[in-house]
Amino acid sequence: MARVIAICNAKGGVGKTTTAVNLGSYLALLGRRVLLVDFDPQANASSALSGVKKFERNIYHGVMGTDNPETLIRPSQILNYEFIPSSEDLAGALVELVSVEERESRLRRFLNQIRHKYDYILVDLPPSFSLLTVNGLVAADEVLIPVQAEYYSLEGISQLLEMIDLIRINLRHNLQVVGALITLYDKRQRLSREVSKNLRRYFPHRVFEVEIPRSVSLAEAPSFGKPILIYDPYSIGALAYRRLAEEIIELEYQYQMQNQEFGNHAQSV
């Protein structure tokens, strides 16, 4: 059964989509079956994996119940790595789902049909606190929070953590923070070093050891429709995302134990 990890930060430009695309590629390289769900109407992850700007059938049709998951899954250029594309149509779901019963659980019900086929399902969420973001968090087991190594980057994290707590309490959902990931890091800059130090000191959850560096190759790869594993596999950005995938895999046993404990608690209530 797949670990479903939402990649989430309400602040844009923090490397959220870059992380989703490239973490998935290295998890697949390391032998895991991976599905990336592009749940952002901007559809940047879809384009970064395929070079295609528009998919006629996409995740919008899945959450609205008109298409089965199997009809929406697309192969990537990497073995064992598939994706479900998005499009600007998904923005319309914000209005269409307002009056729908259990509207915050549409993505979870959709993904439950295919969880057994994968080891990891990564969900790339939009940079907002919208109903789409709530759907992504409700569908997920864990949240990975990219944090840009700049002064204002820590703003908004407290609101995200509050939203996670509300989902835990109100929906009885065992949503965990797998960790914060420092992105766009430049070790030559004092500010980057200070942000990293402060995040590791004050963030109440795990901060991944690896720091994703500023990298020309990481910035260029999406315009060619390729993950960094294919575009420039020996770059510093590529090596960093491989290390992130290794850290995620190292946490698999802990994830299994958390789920077992939550299941035992739920049965006793």
pLDDT in tens, 163-204: 999 999 998 889 999 999 999 999 899 999 999 999 998 888
Tell if the pTM clears 0.75, that is, is over it. Answer: yes
34: its two tokens: 């991976």
Q: Around Cβ 194, how many Cβ atoms within 10 Å?
A: 12
Distance from chain centroid for Cα 2: 14
Q: How far apart are CA 203 and CA 112, in angstroms?
A: 31
Helix-helix angle 236-250:252-268, to 10 degrees: 40
Low-confidence winner among 72-76, 91-95, 137-141, 218-222 (lowest mean pLDDT): 91-95
Give the pLDDT of residue 258: 67
Q: Are 80 and 33 in contact (CB under 8 A)?
A: yes
Strands (E), 134-263: 142-148, 176-185, 207-213
Q: How far apart are CA 3 and CA 55, in angstroms?
A: 26
249: its two tokens: 């895999």
**The domain that contains 179 carries what CATH number?**
3.40.50.300
What's the total number of domains in the chain?
1
The residue range of the domain holding 122 is 3-268
